[in-house]
A and B are shown apart, each in its own frame.
Chain A
Amino acid sequence: DGGITQSPKYLFRKEGQNVTLSCEQNLNHDAMYWYRQDPGQGLRLIYYSQIVNDFQKGDIAEGYSVSREKKESFPLTVTSAQKNPTAFYLCASSPRQGESYNSPLHFGNGTRLTVT
């Protein structure tokens, strides 16, 4: 079955450490996204990528970095510069929006990051 795999499901880090969240998809989608979910605030876009080797900042990119070296993979690094990193992180993918701009997103099951 095609889908999006995020790992690990739970992640714990000490303050000041960088941490990388994995996201892999086998849906053959060109576009991939990272969202952050906080209680009562819905989802906020961190970074997105419409094609390999290209990505754009979303609404809350500060303190985060991404890479898109392969179509299937879009890892997110939460750096020590992120002031409030504890959150639920969701990865998503979709067909390239230029081909069908109303395509829905397919989501992974998320990674819950706790930084103490």
Chain B
Amino acid sequence: GNSVTQMEGPVTLSEEAFLTINCTYTATGYPSLFWYVQYPGEGLQLLLKATKADDKGSNKGFEATYRKETTSFHLEKGSVQVSDSAVYFCALSGSAGGTSYGKLTFGQGTILTVHP
């Protein structure tokens, strides 16, 4: 079945540092890939998405590129802020015709803390 693996956390950075959170996946067909962010005490919000190979999703300075050859969707940001402190989840949706159609599979989440 489908699965998503994220890098172990927590990740602690200083403000303006470069961020990478690794995400790799296993899936059949051509899934769509997502990054969600969860701030303390809240639900998840969509951060960015990519629907086909070589697509780059971007939002609020965050970027991730759908790499089918390496089955990866790593999240990057060039200069993090204290307000970026949150939990980040990588996820994939089952592709049409598969048994996971219409469902999201999530990674375990990576806690990011940014210090001033």
Contact = CB atoms under 8 A, between A and B. Distances in A.
Pair from one complex? yes
Given A48-B103, A102-B32, A109 B43 contact: yes
A37 to B, nearest CB: 8
Contact of B45 (A35, A41, A97, A107): A107
Nearest to B108: A42
A102 B49 contact: yes
Interface residues of A, number: 27
A42 B44 contact: no
B96 interface: yes
Nearest to B109: A42
B103 A90 contact: no
B32 A105 contact: no
Interface residues of B, number: 25
Interface string A98-116: 1001101111111000000
Contacts of B36: 107
Interface string A28-52: 0001010100001111110010100
A27 to B, nearest CB: 13
B69 to A, nearest CB: 20
Contact of B102 (A43, A98, A106): A98
A58 interface: yes
A45 B49 contact: no
Contacts of A44: 106
A42 B89 contact: yes
Contact of B107 (A42, A90, A102): A42
Contacts of A40: 108-109
Interface in A64-99: 90, 92, 97-98
Of all A-B residue pairs in the complex, the 6 with the closest CB atoms, nearest first, are A97-B102, A107-B43, A102-B32, A42-B108, A104-B46, A43-B106
Interface of A: 4, 6, 31, 33, 35, 40-45, 48, 50, 58, 90, 92, 97-98, 101-102, 104-110
13 contacts: A31-B102, A33-B104, A42-B4, A43-B44, A45-B104, A50-B102, A101-B32, A101-B94, A101-B101, A102-B51, A104-B49, A105-B46, A105-B104
